[in-house]
Amino acid sequence: MTIALLLIAALATHRLAYALSEEEGPFSLFMRLRGALDPDQQTWLGRGVNCVMCVGFWVALPLAVWLGVVGVVDPYLTPLVWWGLAGAVVLIRRWEQKR
């Protein structure tokens, strides 16, 4: 069951990162958020919020913490789960780009 939950968590991390970085979102919320942070994309933050892999790194953190808190994974493994979920976003994104 743990592997299935980690796979679902990886897919959810990618989906949320993709939505936040590339979609309009409900009521254009995601688009307005990206524009408010740096409308000209001149800073690392402005470029980062438009990058699925960058956003995925930060989206994975609370999800990894939550998986540790609810007992899906050992809390001591939270950093590894965080980096693993972020790595899954990178793998999925690169696979998408090859298609």
> How is the chain split into domains, by residue range?
2-98
Residue 90 — left, alpha, or beta (φ > 0 → left; ψ -120 to 50 → alpha)? alpha
Cα gap 50→46, rounded to integer Å: 7
Q: What pLDDT, on the 0 to 100 scale, is given for residue 25?
A: 86
State the Cα–Cα distance between residues 17 and 19, nearest whole angstrom: 5
- 39: CB partners within 8 A, 6+ apart: 46
Q: Give the 3-state secondary structure of residue 31.
A: helix
Whether the CB-CB separation of 53 and 89 falls below 8 Å is answered with yes
For residue 65, the model assigns a pLDDT of 96
Residue 34 one-letter amino acid: R
Instruction: Give the model confidence (pLDDT) of 19-72 as tens digits.
Output: 999 998 889 889 888 888 876 777 888 788 889 999 999 999 999 999 999 988
